[in-house]
Each structure stands twice: as structure tokens, then as C-alpha cells.
Structure 1
């Protein structure tokens, strides 16, 4: 900690002194200014993504203390928002609903951050138009468009990029081309990354940490003179590489004998058609989208082969109506989702198994967003959902439920804003994970209990000149969360409670900012301290996390420099099936970067990074199984020191 504070303080003091020497006034630069969203929303925009240049989901959220991403491998990373796993949030990519709960050892949402334009997170309390199943909030990923890349006045352009990382000898190359001709526009992107096994801070190899990633994005759009816009997009991310046999665990001693690694062939695809009116008039401000998303996993082994596939056909039609003091968004949405598994035992086909579940849902919603007075803003809405669920044996359930939310902000003074929100969400019967489905399951005669959730938050934000402060308390209760198991049946449920608080402070100056965040998150399952095994698809032990970020632009030298750190305090309150608890260890990770864009060649940028500068040996706090280290489990450790060089050329 002392090293981090010395390094950050020195950079902050030097940067602030340089900025103040130039001017006593505050003129924020768009690529450097940090502004935290007020109230409940967490927004990561294109400027944040450009600055952090994320390589995976951990990097995307690394400066948000209430959002954790477990695992050092993208193929097994899972997102936790306020301590709750992402399957309990409404997750969309370009508006397409995601149904990715395929295997508990691999990732839920495999995504290439280089594709992203922005990410919006509504922790806990989410609006009704965020979609069905927003039990603990919503996450909306949005990929880049032609407008985000093409320079004004040009009809064609492109970006070529290459990167080398020293830890694992990883080479990454990407190419983007985009253009606009009249009312038509198109974008194409392709990326390929390959590399060897990485090493942790001790210099030990991280099993199954090789790189083998192929991703792409294609978009085509037509926008007429009257504003009618039609867009078709296709996105694909494919990871095919030898991974730890259980891809979210380094090694497990005991149990049935298995090899150290096996191939995880994981692919997620997303196809979306969207219609909007970019020049709305009067009461007509529509959005219509129709999407298909699918995730496929193949696990080939010497004597067996396991396949899983989850898909979602979803759509939404909504219109934004102007009303006094604001607007009301109302409409309808639907999804048809399937989860399938297919197991083949090659020596004896009598052991083969196949099973599937399906859910269909139609929802009607409305959400009002009003500026009640100059000092008060109010958002409230509700939705009703009608769901039909079909089990592996053909058992069918029909259920319906209501959801509602209300949140608001009030400016106590010009500098201080307070906000609060509550929601009650009905989620229906969620699909089971593919790889634990059992074709012999016997479903109850009436229905599996539909899941529901209650959320609340209280927050305050203050801004005094260059200083911004914020604080928030939050709680999520999920009732009757479905926790089926292969041998235990399809209808088991658990109750989850996650609660905590966060604090943050930011200091902005002319050419940069310094910010620090702190979160303290605790979760329970059925009244008992949560552990990562019982909490699969629900929650995981988080505890106390601190994030630090500083960035400064040296305009005279055409440089931008930055330092960030992620700090976890030891968490002693863990649960290990009645045995003495094993504390989750503390760690401190520091990263730094420098980026150079010469004014003589403004279309070329070179960036250098040193990640995990001090070779910390650690597993991210949200990584699976750390409380079971005394039981023979080795968690997936993060890479040790890594030097990365990246060059980007725009044409």
C-alpha cells in the first residue's frame, strides 16, 4: 500500500502542479475528465474505454469498486454487480437479450472489449424498459457504429492495430474498415489473438492460460432523409483453446481423476435488426428491434464429448411519448429461449444423454422519466410479464407477474444531490444450466416457484469546484432463486441477500483527474454467509475493495499517462461447509500506462503498459474457490508483471 500511495501521490502532485501553473481556471479536457454518474447508474463511455484500453471484462470494470469480474481467463469470467452474479441481471448486447448460462465452469458473457462503444449498468433498481428478468439490475453493452469511427467530411476510413504482451508472448492484430455513401453505411471489424501460457507473480505457469481468440463485427445501415434508420448487425466471439479441466479453477486435488486441461470451444453470436426514427416529431419516437443470440460450447475429450447450446430470440417495440415535464416510454417485448445439452460417451452409446428446457415470455411495460421541478427528477414504471416454461420431460407451467420501480433525485443545493430508489421484480421460472440438466428429472405438478427480487438504494452526490464526492448504500433480496442439480432435481430454490455501501471521491484538474473508490459488500444464501460453491449463478464473497485511478495529459509532449490500482482487504468471514473458515487474502495490484500521439502524425498512436508492476501473486476477489484452498483447490491466479506495446494507425 505504501508503494502505491507514493507512486500515485507523486504523479498526482506533479500533474496538478503542472496544470495549475498553466491556469487557475478549470477547463476539463474530454479525453481526461472523469465524471461519476449521479444516483444509481454506472456508465462506462467511449472515453473511459479509450483511456483504459481494456483487454477483457476485468479491465472494463476494474475502476468500479462495486463491480467485480472473477477469473483471469476471459473464457471463464463472470460479472458481479453489488455482489450479485450477472445471470440475475437483464444483460443485453446492442439491445439483444443474452441467454448464456451454459456451464458453471465457463463465462456467462464472452465479449471482446475492443468492440465496445459504452457500457451502462443499473445496479439493483432498473427501469421497466430494461427488459424482463432484471432481478438485480441491468447491464447494456453497446458496440461501435460508423459515426463513432468515421471522421467528419470523409466517406471511408479504417483502423489497423497490433499489440504484443510479454507475459505469454501474446500477439493481437485487428482491422476495422467503415464508410458511408449517401444514405448507406457499413462497418467491418476482425480481430485475432494468439499466445502461450502466462505466468503468475511467482513465475509459475497458469494452467490453460494460452490465448486463442477470434472476434468480429459487421454492421450495415440505411438512414433516409426523413430520419428512418434501419440497421443490421452481426457480432461473433470465438475462444478455442486448452483450458483448465474446470475452466474457472487452476487445479483441484481429489475427486475423480481428470487431465490438467481440455479444450473449451466457446462461441457467442449476436444478430440484431433495429429500426429507429432519428428525426422524431410529436408523439412518434419509436424503436423496434428483433434479435437472435446464441452461445455454443463444445468439450471434446478422448472418450466423451459434451455439447451445450443456449439461444434467445427476442424483440421489443416501444415508443417514447413526450409529456409534461418529461417523457413516457411504453411498449411490449418478448423472448423465446432454449437451453440444450447433448452428452456422448464414445465407448458405449447407452450412456448418451440429451435434455433441454424452454421458456417463452411476453411483457408489457411503461417507464416515466420526469423533471418534476428544476431541483427534482423522478422515474417510475412497471411491467407485467406472461411466461410459459417447458421442462426436460415436457412438463409445462404458465405464470405471470408484476414488476414496479420508482427512483428519484433531489438537489438539496447547487452542489449536493440526494437520490433513492426501490423496485420489486418478478422473473418467472429461469432456465437451468445446460450441463446439469437431467432427462430423468421429475417436475412438481403445480409449478416451480417463480423467482422475484426486491432492491433499494440511497445515495448522495456532491460537487465542490474540482472535487466530487459520492456515497451509496444498497441492498438486493432475491427470493426463490432456482438452484437445480443433476441428482437433486429441478425445483430446489434459495434466497439470496446482498448488501453494502460505496464511497468515492474525485479531484479534477485542467488536464487530468484523480479518483478513489471504496466498496464493502456482503452476501448471504438462506441466511448463511455465501461461499462461491453454493453461490454459483447467485453471488460470491466480495468484502472490501478499493480502486484508485489517476490520469494526466501532457499536452506539450503529446503524451497521456496514468496509474490505476485494485486493492482487496482480507475477508475473514467466509463459510466452508462448517469447517474453520479460510480468510480470503488481501492483495494490491498497480498498473501504469503511457500513450503517445505525435501531433505531426495525429493518426498514429503508440501505447505502452506495465500491468501488475510489483508482480503480486493473487486471484481476483471474485474468482471461484479461494475459500477452499485448504481443501486442495488452487484458484486461477492472475498474470504477473506484463509489458504490453500497442500501435494503432487510422487511415
Structure 2
């Protein structure tokens, strides 16, 4: 009944968008616009889209890229030609940015038919994912850095800081790919002006908006999409629509519903609890109150229903096979994610002093869980009785726990432009701040210890000067100030710190199309609430307690808080080259490429460190304490490349990376380093470019340079096939085959148990990706003037 009500609400939300569009289009909306003087209406529309004069390095980017997404059959624009602001807060094409920037467009996302966000990043170098099949949240790793905000993830400018500690990555977020209109990725701390903490990089998601659905010349438009996939019973339905009420007001919204059953890996093994249901929607209202001003109010809601955890694989009444068959407790999870944003942008072509953006946002992730299965090797199914008290790691069947993270934030910046002789200059300056409020509730279990509650406030300001001399020299210099304050009344902890982080980039263009650059940038990441405050005994799961902890609790081992934990500082050195050539062999062909070499030295890198093992007769030797500590330094270095040659009729692209990372204190590899990846994509456009056929081959190596006790990831090759057919200007058919070779693969290393060295089987059981998946979809467009 609850599921039906939830789905109904989502469908009603989507249908309301269509109703608004039809109602307004038929009830005199056109008359409202026509009642204005023709010159004023057209001028307001132009003013809303104009950008002010920019330095030479930005002039090419000033002309908007044709919205091929809204014009079925239009020539596809190379993604590296897409406008981005992620690296420098000023508009530029990704190919021109003196930074390791990649863009994923809506066209690419729709052609890939992704089931989860990680499906759209195969072509992006330096990016990987540490995900569980039984958890639909997304965990992004950039250049071997993840967890606790090392990668800043923003959705429509709102930071996604959710974190829950368990047998999973320490940092994840919830976003369905059907809501996404485009993604900008900046690797490394080169985007330190974008926000605090991003020593690994920034991933900026833009959700769909009116320009993605309503085509030029239309006043209203609606896109309806449906798809089905095998392995197993993957279904998606969505509706998005918008209306231009008049040149000064836009209304847009949409809804989706996605479901799937448990999938099988490449070996034919069903992965437990990989089925889920997702419902979501968004609404946006855009108002242009005066020339150059645009105010946008947006809201996103998502509801995820799934079960996380793995049951035992074998007899549960004998302890003999425990090491090989033990899974974990299972929780029925209901995650609700809310994001609200208010942005106010101003720019006018004649105004060189002001070009500013104000953003206010709030995000809540509320994860409510009910225990449905207890993995104790005993009879009784985990139901709490006097004879069977349940599993003290996580309570008894029927017990509830919840994790809530509220984030509020603000981001304000402005660009002032001025010329001096042959120098064109842009000064960008701003301020940003956010506050995380973590609340964990677990009446009988262990979650209050492993994910402690607390309050953290992080703020900063920056100034960036971008200088362009003639057409051949560009210099970007920046300084950022960061401050954080962390507070927990229950733990009696108050800590904080601050720092200035510099950045300098120099690029030259000795000949057209060839732009080498060098860059040095620093980033600053404040310790998280969990890293600082985690304290108490890790529960035994039903066995004997091995240690008594300083706070009086007992368990298999003891977590120790560290209020003196120092922030991490990333110092990144980078050399890169941008390649941009048109008309190489024919008048219509083009080549784009970005190649870079980097080394990121992270001072005071934070890691979970065990104490020296001690004997605990008759069980063996074990570490009594685990504490997040600063190690002297970690070093991550590598090469990244992204290229695409496009003739218009066919295209070929190669992208990938090679990297390594070390804990320089003990010369042991970092467990989260991304294995070598090379992705080759080739495609052909037929039938007057209405039919696109593509093949993608992603080859991954295994990372064997790991701390003791880790099971390496597998080396594997994924071959995917894609078809997009624009049958008419309003009907698009898509089909794809994922993992054509039915490969078994585990994309990341599996940690060992903290007590006996055995593999954490719940992670091992849930980490393999799906085997072969066949998918087909249909999109229908409605619209009118």
C-alpha cells in the first residue's frame, strides 16, 4: 500500500507538469507574450542569454553551444567543446580549460541508458567507483581519493555530504541518472576555488532543466521515456516537461520510477538484495525580474527502497564453515533525499564590473532501516528471545536504526573584468560555507559508535585572477582561505583550524590548437565528524568480547577518538596539453584531446590505523585499538588522457589513466588507488545521421599494491554495444547490451576482517557487477507553440 501511494505521488507530480504545459499553452499564454511590444519581448529573451564581454581566453566559450539535445537529428557536439564553469567559476569550453576537466553531456547519458551513475563515467579518466550491488548509492573515487569529502559532489550547486560507516565506503550520495542533465568533472585540487575539502576533485551534476526538453520555437514540451532491461526485470518510466509562461518565467518539472530484481554476475551467481525501487521527481521555477537577472528555485525529491546486507551462504546451524559462508545482517532500507536550491545570477554584456552568482541550498539524507535478518550461526532466525538475544553488532530482527545528515550551505561569487593594454583580465572572488549536522539513532545496535553524531561548519573565501595576453598566453593565479569548526556536546570535543591554499597555472598557445600548461595547486580537507569522534567498542556479533575499552564499553576492539586530528593538505603538480584541431583531413572532421601528468602529495593523510597486536589467549593475537591518525604523507601520481576524432559520419575515442599511490610512511600502496583503465569508443552515424551505432571497450587491470589482508580487484574487460535511432523528430528508440562478454568482475579491492584476517564476505558477495544486460527504451516528445 505504501509503495502504491509513493508511486502515485510521483506520477501525479509528473502528470501535473504536462497539465501545466497544456493548460498554459491553451489559455492565452501566447497572448501574454504577444501583448508585449515585439521588440521588448525579443530583447528580454536575448538579454537573458547574453554574457558580458570576456577576456580572450573566454571569448570562444561565450557563444552558446547549440542545444543538440533538444534538436533531434542535429550534429552532435564533442563533449570537450561543452561549456563548463567547474574549474575556474568562469565560462569556458572544457577543451580550453587549463585543468584536467571532463564533461558528460545529456546526449551521452541518454545513449548509454544507465542503470546507476557509475555507468556514465567509463570514458572519464581518473574516475572509478566503490559500490555495493545491494546499495544503490554512489561512491565516487577520483585519482585514488574518496571518502569523507575528499571528492566534493554537488547537485545543482548543493553539496552531497552523506556518510555512513560500515562495510562500505565512507562517503556516498543518492542521485538517479534519469534526473541528470550533464556532469562536469575536475580532477585534483586544481578547483580549490570551488569549495573546501576537494583535494581529490569536484564532480558537479546539473539536473535536467527546461532547455533539455522544450525545443527552440516551442513554448511547451514534454518528454516521456520508458525502458526495460534483462538481468533482471529492469524497468524505468519517466516524464519531464516545461512551459515558457512568457519570456521572463519558465516552469519545469518531472518524475521517474525505476525498479529491478536481483541480478546475476558473470558467473551466473545471483547477487542477493540487488533489487530495488526508486521514485523521484524535481520542480524548477525560473524568473527573470529584470534585464540580466535570473532567479531559479529548485527542489528534488528521491525515495529509495532496498535491502542492504548478505545472508549466509551455507548451513546456518553449524559454525564450522563460518569463515567461508558468513554474510551479514540484512536491513530493509528506506532512504529519502531532499535537495532545495535558490540561485540568483546576474550578467549583462555592457557590465564589466558585475557578473555574479548567489546560491543558497539545503540537503537532507534520511536513511531509516529495519533489521530483517540476523546472520548468527544459530537457530531461531535472529528473532530476539531470552535464549537467543540476537547479534549485538546491530541488534535483533525488527530493530530500527537511522542515519540523518542535514547540510545547509551558501555560495556567492562575482567576476569583474578589465583590460590593460593587450592584457584581458578577469578577477573572480567569492565566499562559500556549509554546515553538516549528523544524527544517528540505534537503540540496541552499534551504529551510534561507528557513525557518531555531531556538528561541523566549514567555510572559505577565494580570489582568482585570470590574465590573457593577446592570443597566446594565459595565467591563472588564486588564493583560497578555509576554516572549519567541529563540535560534539556528548563527546565534549571542540576542534578547528584554518589555512591559505594557493594556485598558479600558466598556459601558452604557440600555434593554434596546441596549448601546453603547467599548474600547482593546494587543497585543504577538514577532518570529518566520524574521523574525529568515533569512540567505543566494536561489538562482537555474538562472540566473546576480547577487550575492555577506555570508555567502559567492550568488544572485538576499541575505536579511539582523535580530537587532535589535523586536516589533510593536497599539493598537486600538473603538466598538461590541450589539443584542438578542425578540418584535418576533411572539412568536417575534428580532433580533441587532453593529456596530463600529475603528482599529488597529501600531507597529514588521514587513515584508520590499528595498534600493535597483543595476545588474547586462547583466541590468538589481535589489535586492541583502531584510530584515525595522520600519517606523514601519501603520494599519488599518474597519467590521464582523453581523446576523440570525429568525422561527422564516424568517430573514435580513447581515454584512460595509469596511476599509483603510496603511503610514504611504510611504502605500502593505498587501498583506494584506481586500477589502470583504457576505454575505446567507436561509433558510426547512418541514415542521414538518425541512426547511431557504437561499441565501447573498457579494459581494467587489477591493483595488487595493497595493504596486507586485502583481496585485489579483478582484471576485466567490459564490451558494451549501443544503438540510438531517431525514427522521427519526436520518437527516439534506444537499445544496448552491457557486458556483452558476460565477464565476472569486482571493480575494487575487498578489505579483510579487522579481527581474524578473513575477507569481509558481505562485501565480497555484493561487490561483483552484473553479467550481460540487454536493454531497450523509447522516448516520445510532445510540444507546441
The count of corresponding residues between Structure 1 and Structure 2 is 604
> What's 2:230 paired with?
166
Shift of 1:240: 1.3
CA distance in 2: counterparts of 1:278 and 1:238, whole angstroms = 37
Equivalent position SS for 1:85: coil
> What's 1:243 paired with?
308
Q: Does 1:478 align with 2:602?
A: yes
Q: Does 1:616 align with 2:677?
A: no
Shift of 1:443: 5.6
Q: Which structure shows the higher strand fraction?
A: 1
Measured against aligned partners, the alpha-carbon deviations of 1:218-264 in whole angstroms (never above 9, x if no partner) come to: 11121124232211111123221123349xxxxx9639965564323
CA distance in 2: counterparts of 1:523 and 1:43, whole angstroms = 25
Shift of 1:320: 1.1
CA distance in 2: counterparts of 1:434 and 1:399, whole angstroms = 13
Equivalent position SS for 1:592: strand
> What's 1:585 paired with?
714
Contact 1:71 1:623 in 2 (8 A): no
Contact 2:353 2:416 in 1 (8 A): yes
Shift of 1:503: 3.6
Structure 2, unpaired ranges of 5+: 1-72, 82-93, 312-320, 372-396, 538-550, 552-558, 585-589, 611-623
Match of 1:293 among 360, 363, 368: 363
Contact 2:452 2:530 in 1 (8 A): no
Aligned pair in 2 of structure 1 residues 114, 260: CA closer, same or farther (>3 Å)? same
Q: Does 1:596 align with 2:657?
A: no
Higher normalized contact order (CA 8 Å, seq sep 6+, divided by chain length): 1
Match of 2:261 among 187, 196, 202: 196
CA distance in 2: counterparts of 1:502 and 1:558, whole angstroms = 33
Aligned pair in 2 of structure 1 residues 367, 506: CA closer, same or farther (>3 Å)? same
Q: TM-score, normalised by structure 2?
A: 0.71
Equivalent position SS for 2:603: strand
Shift of 1:438: 5.1
Measured against aligned partners, the alpha-carbon deviations of 1:491-527 in whole angstroms (never above 9, x if no partner) come to: 5233432211124443221223101123111122354
Shift of 1:100: 1.4
CA distance in 1: counterparts of 2:256 and 2:772, whole angstroms = 24
> What's 1:492 paired with?
629
> What's 1:51 paired with?
111
Equivalent position SS for 2:705: coil
Measured against aligned partners, the alpha-carbon deviations of 1:143-177 in whole angstroms (never above 9, x if no partner) come to: 12212321223222211111100111111111112
Contact 1:32 1:512 in 2 (8 A): no
> What's 1:249 paired with?
none
Match of 2:280 among 215, 234, 240: 215
> What's 2:399 paired with?
304
Contact 2:231 2:264 in 1 (8 A): yes
Match of 1:66 among 111, 123, 126: 126
> What's 1:418 paired with?
516
Q: Does 1:339 align with 2:468?
A: no
Shift of 1:68: 1.0
CA distance in 2: counterparts of 1:128 and 1:500, whole angstroms = 20
Q: Does 1:368 align with 2:449?
A: no
Q: How does 1:127-142 map to 2 (within 5 A)?
A: 127-142=191-206
Shift of 1:357: 1.7
Shift of 1:650: 1.0
Q: Does 1:78 align with 2:108?
A: no
Q: Does 1:403 align with 2:501?
A: yes
Q: TM-score, normalised by structure 1?
A: 0.85
Match of 1:462 among 579, 603, 622: 579
Aligned pair in 2 of structure 1 residues 253, 152: CA closer, same or farther (>3 Å)? farther
CA distance in 2: counterparts of 1:235 and 1:419, whole angstroms = 39
CA distance in 2: counterparts of 1:472 and 1:354, whole angstroms = 38
Shift of 1:458: 1.0
> What's 2:780 paired with?
649
Aligned pair in 2 of structure 1 residues 173, 332: CA closer, same or farther (>3 Å)? same
CA distance in 2: counterparts of 1:414 and 1:168, whole angstroms = 51
Equivalent position SS for 1:492: strand
Shift of 1:288: 1.0
> What's 1:283 paired with?
353
Aligned pair in 2 of structure 1 residues 490, 574: CA closer, same or farther (>3 Å)? closer
Aligned pair in 2 of structure 1 residues 259, 330: CA closer, same or farther (>3 Å)? closer
Aligned pair in 2 of structure 1 residues 625, 512: CA closer, same or farther (>3 Å)? farther
Contact 1:127 1:405 in 2 (8 A): no
Equivalent position SS for 2:271: coil
Q: Cα RMSD between the aligned structures? A: 3.3
Measured against aligned partners, the alpha-carbon deviations of 1:621-643 in whole angstroms (never above 9, x if no partner) come to: x3644999978644521111111
Structure 1, unpaired ranges of 5+: 1-27, 247-251
> What's 2:251 paired with?
186
Measured against aligned partners, the alpha-carbon deviations of 1:558-607 in whole angstroms (never above 9, x if no partner) come to: 31111112111244433324xxx865432111000111112xx3111111
Aligned pair in 2 of structure 1 residues 140, 343: CA closer, same or farther (>3 Å)? same
CA distance in 2: counterparts of 1:436 and 1:459, whole angstroms = 41
Q: Does 1:388 align with 2:472?
A: no
Equivalent position SS for 2:744: coil
Aligned pair in 2 of structure 1 residues 570, 128: CA closer, same or farther (>3 Å)? closer
Contact 1:593 1:608 in 2 (8 A): yes
> What's 1:14 paired with?
none
Match of 2:648 among 510, 515, 520: 510
> What's 2:161 paired with?
99
Shift of 1:90: 2.4
Aligned pair in 2 of structure 1 residues 511, 624: CA closer, same or farther (>3 Å)? farther
CA distance in 1: counterparts of 2:497 and 2:532, whole angstroms = 22
Aligned pair in 2 of structure 1 residues 202, 123: CA closer, same or farther (>3 Å)? same
CA distance in 2: counterparts of 1:380 and 1:470, whole angstroms = 21
> What's 2:180 paired with?
116
Shift of 1:547: 0.5
Contact 1:33 1:513 in 2 (8 A): no
Between 637-646 and 48-57, report the one with greater CA deviation. 48-57
Measured against aligned partners, the alpha-carbon deviations of 1:157-202 in whole angstroms (never above 9, x if no partner) come to: 2111111001111111111121121222211111111221111122
Equivalent position SS for 1:147: helix
CA distance in 2: counterparts of 1:93 and 1:319, whole angstroms = 20
Shift of 1:648: 0.6
Aligned pair in 2 of structure 1 residues 565, 258: CA closer, same or farther (>3 Å)? closer
Contact 2:685 2:691 in 1 (8 A): yes
> What's 1:7 paired with?
none
CA distance in 2: counterparts of 1:136 and 1:526, whole angstroms = 18
